[in-house]
A and B are shown apart, each in its own frame.
Chain A
Amino acid sequence: ETGVTQSPTHLIKTRGQQVTLRCSSQSGHNTVSWYQQALGQGPQFIFQYYREEENGRGNFPPRFSGLQFPNYSSELNVNALELDDSALYLCASSSGGRTNEKLFFGSGTQLSVL
C-alpha cells in the first residue's frame, strides 16, 4: 500500500508567479484535501475534492484552485503568488467520501515566495 506522495518537496518562486503542486493519494482513497501550514501555525483548510469535484472550500481567495483526476491524484494551483503564500502545503487523502475522518497526510511541499 503506497502512502500519500507530494511533489516537489521544495520550491522557490517570486511574487506574481504561478505554481502547481501535485499529490498522489493513498491507494484506494477517493478524497483529497489540501492544507496550508504557515510557520508556527497549524494547518489551514484550503479545499477538498471528492470524485473529481470540489465539495468544500476554506477561506482562501480564488487564485487558489485545484483539480482531481480520475485516478484521484490532485493538483493545487496558486496564481499571482504573494509573499504570504510562503508555507508548507499539505495534501491529505481519505476514503469513503464526506464523512470519513481518518486523513493520511503527505510530507508536504515547502513553498518559498521571494
Chain B
Amino acid sequence: TQLLEQSPQFLSIQEGENLTVYCNSSSVFSSLQWYRQEPGEGPVLLVTVVTGGEVKKLKRLTFQFGDARKDSSLHITAAQPGDTGLYLCAGKVNSGYALNFGKGTSLLVTP
C-alpha cells in the first residue's frame, strides 16, 4: 500500500511551460520532503516543509504543504531542460524513522 500518491506519473512539456506536481495521502505527516533523482543517481533533497500551509520557494520551484499536513504540491515556473528528472515526495509519519516515498513524477522538459 502506497502511503503517498503522486500525480501525474509522467509529464512531458516544452521549455518555458509551467507545471504542478501533486503528492497526496490520507495520513498526516510531521514533515514532508521533495527530492529530485536523475538516472543512475540517488535522490537529492530539494526542500523540507514542516508546518501546515507552509510555502517555500527555491528559484523557479514553489513548494506548498497542505493545511492538514496530508498533501503537498510542487510548482515549476518556466521549466527548463535541466529540470528533467524524477520528482519524489517523501514524508515521515509522526516520529517514525522511515521516510515514506511516493512513486514519483517523471518530468521531461524538451527544448
Contact = CB atoms under 8 A, between A and B. Distances in A.
A42 B88 CA distance: 7
B61 to A, nearest CB: 17
B65 interface: no
A91 to B, nearest CB: 8
Nearest to A40: B103
Contact of B45 (A56, A98, A102, A108): A102
A107 B43 CA distance: 8
Interface residues of B, number: 23
Interface in A71-114: 90, 92, 98-99, 101-108
Secondary structure at the B interface, as helix, strand, loop or mixed, is: loop
Chain A interface size band reads 20 to 34
A33 B95 CA distance: 15
A56 to B, nearest CB: 3
Interface in B61-96: 88, 90, 92, 95-96
A107 B37 CA distance: 10
Contacts of B88: 42-43
29 contacts: A33-B97, A40-B103, A42-B4, A42-B88, A42-B102, A42-B103, A43-B43, A43-B88, A43-B99, A43-B101, A44-B101, A45-B97, A45-B99, A48-B98, A55-B97, A56-B96, A58-B98, A92-B42, A98-B95, A99-B95, A101-B33, A102-B45, A102-B48, A103-B45, A106-B42, A107-B40, A107-B41, A107-B42, A108-B42
Interface of B: 4, 31, 33, 40-45, 48, 88, 90, 92, 95-104
Top 3 nearest A-B pairs by Cβ distance?
A56-B97, A105-B42, A42-B101
Interface of A: 4, 33, 35, 40-45, 48, 55-56, 58, 90, 92, 98-99, 101-108
